[in-house]
Structure 1
């Protein structure tokens, strides 16, 4: 019996992951399709899709793609154990959603219940942090652990809160999206759109990130080793340098635009 296979566009439709992302996963050897046809078309098997699920699970709790690649290739990796940990997190997310649904229904029915506990994400954040810690402890001799512990050290965990967890999740999403354009020009529309997204996120959640501040951040990302190492975790090479150049272009275009008025 022939194994079922799926083309890139079919996997994209099934998972909601873009074809570009799937191609990128292939390029960095994170998820390579098991079959390449004579016509050079990628074909994914059920085993490939199962691995994709694992990748998405790890991304959801904050691991960078480089780290996921290394973790999945570790000899003592236990998929069942990992899935059980994720199930606990998903159950907590379900519990939170159910509490929010119940609260909304009460509001619709006219009950003015002033409670905000249902909005709390604290339990989920705590479980995710615990899961990361357990995984990293198990693979603590790997390169991934050594890189990751600089961000999630015991000291850092003490000061982490929901805002920082949301920041990390957003940063991960933005920098991984940026990494897919590393071989393109820093001034291409897609890259410039990502810079704008980053600027808006900082402005909305931390402080007004005007042209001058954004330009300063761009320099900081390549002069401060802490920022450079953090950003480079999400790319193939020098993502921090690429991002800095993209910010420089973005700020130059802003300056030109402002000088026209």
Structure 2
């Protein structure tokens, strides 16, 4: 690895993470540069990039940013042990890809045997769940994490495991992306686009989410603590209230669907 400290631009090129995301990680105390010059340029050392890699590993498994910060701050956190657990998950992902490749190759050769086993993500989901439980048990605030697991919609809890994983993954990614704009107007283009994506996702996977339904959901996000807690775990402030305001603006826009 390059021993020279890297600039924000270099880290962006290296990782694909946006400068805004790096700034947000810095703002919430999750990932700060070791060096800040007199001119306020942020420089990241090799040790910094190792921490960023750990953050991305946890994100791959589905932890929220606040959870990751809590785990990494634990005095008993064991990096080597965590990495070994990650290898098990990555190997399961590799095996699934290899099985899919073999299935496609068999089809190309004219194979006619129907098989759907290779499409299953159950082993990976099982390992991820096991990993998550072990991390919470050893280094997490168990009560806090249990509350996190018990939140969000009743409909989501009725889904099959793989569908539920996909839902939580999408929701968490969307809310974390929304949190990047907490210091902006809820009516800005980027925030309104995120609201539109959320509306479309709900309509495609649950029920027709028209303007009135979306407004009702927005109100629920601030009045029901289960929703508020889930959403706010992904931001630094009252992200649920911010989302509710953004939804109100979106639904009062005559051009919105």
TM over 0.5: yes
Question: What is the CA–CA distance in structure 2 between the aligned matches of 1:158 and 1:243, rounded to whole Å?
Answer: 25
Shift of 1:158: 10
**Structure-2 change in CA distance of 1:111 and 1:51 (3 Å):** same
Name the structure 1 match of 2:149.
Answer: 152
Post-superposition Cα deviations, 1:155-191, rounded to whole Å, max 9, x if no partner, equal: x999761100110111110000000101110100000
Q: Secondary structure at the match of 2:43?
A: strand
**Structure 1: 5+ residue runs without aligned partners?**
none
Question: What is the CA–CA distance in structure 1 between the aligned matches of 2:214 and 2:7, rounded to whole Å?
Answer: 41
**Structure-2 change in CA distance of 1:76 and 1:210 (3 Å):** same
Question: What is the CA–CA distance in structure 2 between the aligned matches of 1:258 and 1:7, rounded to whole Å?
Answer: 40
Q: Secondary structure at the match of 1:149?
A: helix
Shift of 1:204: 1.5
Post-superposition Cα deviations, 1:52-90, rounded to whole Å, max 9, x if no partner, equal: 011011111121111111110110000000000000000
Please give the residue correspondences for 1:134-173 in structure 2 after superposition, counting only pairs within 5 Å: 134-140=134-140, 142=141, 145-152=142-149, 161-173=161-173
Please list every run of at least 4 consecutive aligned residues from structure 1 whose deviation after the TM superposition is greater than 3 angstroms. 156-160
Name the structure 2 match of 1:63.
Answer: 63
Question: What is the CA–CA distance in structure 2 between the aligned matches of 1:224 and 1:85, rounded to whole Å?
Answer: 35
Name the structure 2 match of 1:214.
Answer: 214
Question: What is the CA–CA distance in structure 2 between the aligned matches of 1:258 and 1:65, rounded to whole Å?
Answer: 31
Q: Secondary structure at the match of 1:151?
A: helix
TM-score, structure 1 as length reference: 0.92
Question: What is the CA–CA distance in structure 2 between the aligned matches of 1:131 and 1:178, rounded to whole Å?
Answer: 27
Question: What is the CA–CA distance in structure 1 between the aligned matches of 2:124 and 2:173, rounded to whole Å?
Answer: 19
Shift of 1:139: 2.3
Post-superposition Cα deviations, 1:102-142, rounded to whole Å, max 9, x if no partner, equal: 111111222122111111101100100000000101124x3
Name the structure 1 match of 2:153.
Answer: none
Question: What is the CA–CA distance in structure 1 between the aligned matches of 2:157 and 2:191, rounded to whole Å?
Answer: 32
Question: What is the CA–CA distance in structure 2 between the aligned matches of 1:202 and 1:236, rounded to whole Å?
Answer: 25
Query: Do the aligned residues in 1 keep the contact of 2:148 with 2:229 (CA within 8 Å)?
Result: no
Please give the residue correspondences for 1:77-116 in structure 2 after superposition, counting only pairs within 5 Å: 77-116=77-116
Pick which of 156-165 and 20-29 moved more. Answer: 156-165
Instruction: Work out the number of aligned pairs and report it.
Output: 251
Shift of 1:152: 2.8
Shift of 1:203: 1.4
Query: Do the aligned residues in 1 keep the contact of 2:250 with 2:256 (CA within 8 Å)?
Result: no
Q: Secondary structure at the match of 1:152?
A: helix
Question: What is the CA–CA distance in structure 2 between the aligned matches of 1:183 and 1:38, rounded to whole Å?
Answer: 25
Query: Do the aligned residues in 1 keep the contact of 2:157 with 2:164 (CA within 8 Å)?
Result: no
Please give the residue correspondences for 1:178-189 in structure 2 after superposition, counting only pairs within 5 Å: 178-189=178-189
Coordinate RMSD, CA, aligned: 2.0
Question: What is the CA–CA distance in structure 1 between the aligned matches of 2:4 and 2:160, rounded to whole Å?
Answer: 44
Question: What is the CA–CA distance in structure 2 between the aligned matches of 1:206 and 1:121, rounded to whole Å?
Answer: 21
